[in-house]
Amino acid sequence: MTTPHDPKRLTPSGLPRARFYDIPFDGAPGPNNAITDVPGVAVGYTTLIEGDGPLVVGTGPVRTGVTAILPRPRAELASPVFAGLFSANGNGEMTGSHLIEEIGTFNLPVTITNTHSCGVARDATVRWLGGKDPDALEDSWGLPVAAETYDGFLNDINGHHLTAEHVAAAIDNATSGPIDEGSIGGGTGMVTFQFKAGSGTASRVVGWQGRTFTVGSFVQSNFGPRKNLMIRGVRAGAELAEPQIIERTPRREKGSIIAVVATDAPLLPHQLKRLARRVPLGVAWTGGLGYHSSGDIFLAFSTANPEAASSPPGRLAQALYVPDCDIDPFFDAVVQSVEEAILNALIANDDMTGRDGNYVPALPRDWLETKFGRRSI
């Protein structure tokens, strides 16, 4: 039974999501249609919006933030998760990637922010761990995952407004359940298909051998020219091309997309890399083609097999996993959830004006309702 406050249709702050409209998606979403449908996964944000008018580097205007994704509950963050990653186009950054490629695991929160604050987010995560557990790094080291996309069209990106305290706040306020989307957290200043975009999420339920697993995706979406926009096969870009608006939005592709895929299905690192390789197919379903300056970097992890991922030395480790020959439904879930997460980032949004009066419109809601109709309650 759908209600006006169904988290699949509305964000906690009341913005419409893609399923507010009668858009015909594939697959079955989880209860919140979010990466947080994967048990133990939490998401937190810090959003920085301040000032208007001409750019004064170091002062503003500020349109940025940081997103934190916790792969395990806080008390278990030191326990690694099996992981795999894939770079479809490498004009971007994701720290910790070499270790993931080498051993197929990572631990600690994942952070996503703007390009010039990626190092701050990475270092602040290590500081956060040291503050919470002073003994954790005494005889060890931290190599957290931090990723970025560029928000310099709207934000004073060279003003370095993100601080370690902002990162710690995003980690500390991370929650499960429904989460907000759009111009929030690291997605605050991001643009997709010359419309306002940013943070988006979706999930899919996968049945296998009488068991039910969840695949959830989170994107920081910041890519694509207007002409390429596609919504469930509808080539929408040409219909929505308004010269007077395009004049005030970015003309050159300077964007990227970061996607994080989580699942509670028992999958091994090579299988999670295979999931990460399917993310570009979901991006392509919205019209993303991985242009030259786009950093398209994707991470997938599994919360299953905690004992195997953190097995002590001197004993054999055992891990359960879904056979490769049965993995196709999980590929479906990745593609479907990534596509919907990008559309959620676009639809759960409003117009934004940033530095120097630079303006990015939201995807028009009246057009969405005319084209697809509103989903019945």
Q: Where do the structural domains in the chain lie, given as residue ranges? A: 18-312+321-364
> Which conformational region is residue 112 in: left (phi greater than 0), alpha (psi within -120 to 50 degrees), or beta?
beta
Exposure string over 46-79, b if 16+ CB within 10 A, otherwise e: bbbbebeeebeeeebbbbbbbbbbbbbeeeebeb
* Residue 181: alpha-carbon gap to chain centroid: 10
Structure tokens that stand for 306 in this block: 């905690």
Contact of 185 with 112, CB cutoff 8 Å: yes
Contact of 36 with 30, CB cutoff 8 Å: no
Structure tokens that stand for 320 in this block: 């359960």
Give catalytic residue positions. Answer: 256, 294, 296
Q: Which of 146, 154, 139, 88 is nearest to 118 (CA)?
A: 146
Contact of 117 with 148, CB cutoff 8 Å: yes
Helix (H) or strand (E) holding 221: strand 211-222
Tens digits of pLDDT across the chain (377 residues): 445 589 999 999 999 999 999 999 999 999 999 999 999 999 999 999 999 999 999 999 999 999 999 999 999 998 999 999 999 999 999 999 999 999 999 999 999 999 999 999 999 999 999 888 777 666 667 899 999 999 999 999 999 999 999 999 999 999 999 999 999 999 999 999 999 999 999 999 999 999 999 999 999 999 999 999 999 999 998 888 765 555 566 656 568 999 999 999 999 999 999 999 999 999 999 999 999 989 999 999 999 999 888 878 888 999 999 999 999 999 999 999 999 999 999 999 999 999 999 999 999 999 999 999 998 76
Residue located via tokens 């133990």: 40
CA atoms within 13 A on the CB side of 201: 36
Which CATH architecture is the domain 18-312+321-364 placed in?
4-Layer Sandwich (3.60)
Q: Which of 11, 15, 16 is nearest to 34 (CA)?
A: 11
Contacts of 38 (CB under 8 A, 6+ apart): 30, 203, 214, 215, 216, 262, 263, 264, 303
CA distance 377 to 372: 15
Dihedrals phi, psi of 82, to nearest 5 degrees: -65, 140
Contact of 74 with 238, CB cutoff 8 Å: no
Tallying the residues shown for the chain, one arrives at 377
Dihedrals phi, psi of 55, to nearest 5 degrees: -70, 130
Helix (H) or strand (E) holding 102: helix 97-103
Q: Kindly report whether the peptide bond that precedes residue 269 is cis, defined as omega within 30 degrees of 0.
A: no
pLDDT for position 1: 42
